[in-house]
Each structure stands twice: as C-alpha cells, then as structure tokens.
Amino acid sequence: MENVKDVVLAYVKKEYLEEGDDRQVGYDTQLISGGIVDSFSMVSLKMFLETKYSIQIPDAKATPEAFDSVNNIAKMLIEFGIN
C-alpha cells in the first residue's frame, strides 16, 4: 500500500519544483512558509488530495498551516481516515 507521505512528497516534488531545482524537500520542509507552494498553488494541491483520496477538504481546514509541510498534510488526512 502506498505511503501517504511519500505520495504527497512525490507530488510536491514533481509539480512544485522546477526540473533542475536541486532544493532538498522532505516531510518537514516548509512548503508554504518556504515559498515552494503559494496560496494560489495550494488550490491545486488541495484538489490533488481530494481527487486522489476521494475526499472533500472544507475551506476551513485548508489553511496555510495545514498545508505547510508533508507531515502537516498527512496529519490532516488522518482526520479523513487516510493514513
């Protein structure tokens, strides 16, 4: 079974880093604070999670803090029964 953190991390690397961008991104890397994912791009990341896991993330839960690292995202997904 796919590890949620690995799935999200792989997606972040693929979609939000330019090819050739050699920044190290891990589970704890600050995605929003660190400028890897901005508030507009967060919409596409949220949509990916919703589509991938067939869930609906309410706007109130889709905060910059909740999306600020792969670990935070994984923690939020647990609330939807995804782990």
Partner 1 sequence: MFKYLNNMLSYEDTVKDFSWSLVEKELGYKEGDNINIGEYCSDRICKNGFAQKKALIWQDHHGNVKEYTFDDIRKLSNAIALYLKNLAVVPGDRVCLFMDKVPELYIGFLGILKLGAIAQPLYSAFGPESLFTRLEDAGTKVIITQKKHLPKVRTILKDMDFMEQIIVVDEHNPENLREREFMFDLDNCKPVDEFEIYPSKAYTPSVLHYTSGTTGKPKGAQHVHYSVISQYITAKYGLDLKEDDIYWCTADPGWVTGTSYGIIGPWANGTTQCVTDSGFTADNWYSFIEKQKISVWYSAPTAIRALMKEGEEVVKKHDLSSLRYLASIGEPLNAEAVIWSDKVFGMPFHDTFWQTETGSMVVSNFPCMKVKPGSMGRPFPGMEVTVVDLKTHLPLNQKGVVGIIAVKPGWPAMFRGYWKNLENYNKKFVNGWYLCGDRASIDEDGYYWFVGRDDDVINTAGHLVGPFEIESALLEHPAVAESAAIGKPDAINMEVVKAFIALKPGIEQNKMLELEIMNFIRKKLSPLAMPQEIEFVDSLPKTRSGKIMRRVLRAKEWGEEIGDISTLENDM
> Which part of the chain contacts partner 1 (CB under 8 A), choosing from 1-9, 22-30, 73-81?
22-30
> Which part of the chain contacts partner 1 (CB under 8 A), choosing from 2-10, 21-29, 74-82?
21-29
- Least distance in Å: CB of 9 to partner 1? 17
Which of 72, 70, 62 minimizes the C-alpha distance to 42?
Answer: 62
Per-residue burial over 54-83, b if 16 or more Cβ lie within 10 Å, else e, is eeebeeeebeeebbbbbebbbebbeeeeee
Task: Give the x-and-dash track for 24-63 against partner 1 (CB under 8 A).
Answer: ------x-xxxx-xxxxx-xx--xx-xx-----------x
- Least distance in Å: CB of 82 to partner 1? 17
Q: Can you tell me which of 20, 56, 58, 81 binds partner 1, judged by CB under 8 A? A: 20
